[in-house]
Structure 1
Amino acid sequence: MIFALGFVGLSVSFLNFAGTVGASSAPDDPRADAIVVLTGGTERVERAVALLVEGRASRLLISGVHPGTTQQQIATMTSGDLPLFECCVDLDRVALNTTGNALETASWVQEHGFRSLLVVTSAYHLPRASLELAEVLPNVELVPYPVYQPRLDLRSWYRSPKTIRLLLREYVKYTLARLRIVVSRGSGMFSNT
């Protein structure tokens, strides 16, 4: 009985997660002090650079860049202007995962004194990225900006086994991140008493 209730609860939670991801959309007039894009796809970086070119923010952090990748290569890949990269784009080569992206972004945000941040990543990754960033940047306004891959139909996710598997994997990662944060907060409460 408990197992069945747990399964139903997880199923409902997953359906809510998948529905939220599929229904997410970019803000009509996105603006912030700065932009962070979490690497993991060309579309993400291209969209973040376009937002910077449009004047939606004054500076861009590309988090999770491979150590061998240069600004010139990214500028070429995104059809960006190298002088724009030299003045207004920072590359984080340290982060290896979403938690690392959040930590490196927090350091960058604090160094520059930003109070608002456009968060650019794939729509399916946005809930976990936002969760991680909100934990390390509690006083910074996060403006989610989902990027949809053209070959991935997240609105009709239930029609594709490949998309269902992708969302299930991301849901598990998101759930584990939530649990880690809750446990971390709880252990912090007990260590202060």
Structure 2
Amino acid sequence: MILRLTAFLALLYALGFALFSVTLAKPAEATRTEAVVVLTGGKGRIERGMAIMKRGEAKRMLISGADPSVTREDLARRLGRGTLKTLRCCVDLGSEAVDTRSNAEEARRWMIKRGYRSLRLVTSDYHMRRAAYEFASDLPDTTIIEDAVQTRPSLLLLFKEYNFYLVRRAAFWLDM
């Protein structure tokens, strides 16, 4: 009986991982939201957020989890000409967050302060499911558009992210 249950759970876990791996998030269609929240930690995320701002698809952007020593001028040098004006007027650098959960908490405080009710969440495709789960939990009355930066994650990275996602879901379920 225990062997059958263990085999069933292992099969369920493997099928869940396969489903997780083949259903990574995609970039969003052009959709206007009040805010863009970019989670740091992956290539192309900030660039994606700036492209959204340049197209006028959001009023303001939060870069959550930014290193406290990073300035708008540093970002402008990295992102290229013409970005400093947007960075100065419409981008906030949040340096309180250290993980996905605290990204959502930081974004919630930022959204409440501005009275925003809709956001576009920008992160990597492999990270989106967990990030969207955290944001939906912290911002239940907010419209969240998932806008993933496409990557080519390794099998090991997918495996780690799948396990982080399962642990976070279990912790939420157990009210931890």
TM-score class, shorter: over 0.9
Per-residue deviation, residues 83-103 of structure 1 (Å, max 9, x unmatched)? 211111001011001011010
Shift of 1:28: 2.2
Root-mean-square deviation over aligned CA pairs: 1.3
Task: Report SS of the residue matched to 2:61.
Answer: strand
Contact 2:27 2:150 in 1 (8 A): no
Structure 1 match to 2:108: 106
Structure 1 match to 2:168: 177
Shift of 1:145: 0.2
Is 1:123 the counterpart of 2:114? The answer is no
1:1-193 → structure 2 map (5 Å cutoff): 1-21=4-24, 24-79=25-80, 80-149=82-151, 152=152, 163-184=154-175
Letter of the 1:168 counterpart: F
Instruction: Give % identity.
Output: 35
Contact 2:26 2:150 in 1 (8 A): no
Task: Report SS of the residue matched to 2:98.
Answer: coil
Flag the structure with higher helix content: 1
Task: Report SS of the residue matched to 2:174.
Answer: helix
Per-residue deviation, residues 25-52 of structure 1 (Å, max 9, x unmatched)? 2222222110000001241001101111
Distance in 2 between the 1:122 and 1:99 partners? Answer: 16
Shift of 1:20: 1.1
Task: Report SS of the residue matched to 2:52.
Answer: helix
Task: Report SS of the residue matched to 1:91.
Answer: strand
Shift of 1:173: 0.4
- Structure 2 gaps of 5+ residues are none
> How many residue pairs get matched?
172
